Structure 1
Amino acid sequence: MRAQLARLDAVIIQAVIAGALSFSHLHDLAEAARQGGWKAWAYPISVDLLLVAAWRRMREQQRAGQPSGGPRLWFLVALAASLGANVATAGLLDLDHVPAWLRVVVAGWPAVAFFGGTLLAHAPHPQETPVPASSTKGPDEEPHSASGAVEMPDRNMISAPSTGPDSGPASEDTTADPVTAPVAPAPTPVPAVALPPALVERVRALAAEHHTATGHPADPDAVRTRLGLPPSMTASVAAHL
């Protein structure tokens, strides 16, 4: 426990020192770029807030398995602004004569930070995967079947009479009446449709040809198929064979 607290204290102290130095460098650079007064103090806050917001959103999207290209881009932009201010105030840049392009970059930073912060704030948050209802079931609950139907006991088991020694006279007759299954009605025969004389001759010719080739009577359905007639005409073809 003490080792963890010692490591945590070291991380916090290091973060405070780094944040204070970066804050000071950004303030000095903004002041050298003619952004004096309260504006020089607002620049470091803007850079650090964008850096932290982009980092948090990037981590959230990575945990959710979503692409984090947008937050990573704004994290790199804020990191470049912070790192650039640290390097610029290291004696490599004359803060008394700041180049015009650097003054333009510092002056345009608020618009860039506002745009990036708005995109990060209004981006859709990653949705958590809903927990299935079956996983929230208690340990004593029994799983239900997939169709949700309740199994009923067999009807024969319910209606079976008792055959024990204590049963009365009513238990002597153990033969149950058989259950009569409903009989499906017979299909209504389709009346034959009269065929034209030419078609009748064609039917008889095909039947004679089949009988000559095979020695067996022609099948009405086969003849109807060869003539290209619908299935409803089978009875009409059979009537002329």
Structure 2
Amino acid sequence: MSWHLFTIFFVSTFFISATPGPNMLLAFQYGLNYGVRRTLWTLAGLSLGLFILLLSTLLGLDVISRQQPWLLEVIKTVGAIYLIYLGVLSWRDTGHSSLMAEASAVSEEVAKLDYFETSDSSYNVQQPKPRSLSSAAVKVIPSNSKLFRTGIWVSLSNPKAILFFAAFFPKFINFSAPLWPQYIMLTFGLFLSETIWQIIYTLGGKQLAGWLDVSDRLAWLNRACGVIFMLIAAALLAEVASHFIS
């Protein structure tokens, strides 16, 4: 993989990672509720879950590229269509909903898991479950291991990530060259961009949320991601077309 292609990949993933998905919203909410040091455990869990999903995708692409090359072209085509779909959704997303409200919704979903647990052994302070699910994540102080497991759960609970990786990564992989060096570079680039934004959302989430909620800033960020999705989709379709023409 050339450094030019890697730079395009990193810039693309950096913009995409900036959008407030479940991982970033959880980092934002927990940073506010528990502080930066405690939230680092959650960030570690988010990273581990993301790595599991990414590794599953890359192993699948590796097997397909060696055993069923024609299926790889199908995956590229379907992936391009999926990226166009994501691009349209991102472009139409005005971002008018408050980031604070979205983060609270993510925190409430996590709190529901705590509410239905039969044991409180993962908490530092034993106390009755609060009746309000939306305030559970604030009133109950989870242990470090609980924060870590929550990060893994939130990351793995998004199976769409596998579909996104399968659609996004093939454009940046040269399947006729050694694959694992490319996988390592792409994984490094993705984790670097994700980690940077997770830390930003954890450290300055409130300020960032306030800045994005002003005017149409979040809408323009979504539109920029939409353009990136569509450009990569067009490049994938062009690559598939050239494969069949040659």
Structure possessing the higher radius of gyration over alpha carbons: 1
Shared fold by TM > 0.5?
Answer: no
User: If the length of structure 1 is used for normalisation, what is the TM-score?
Assistant: 0.27
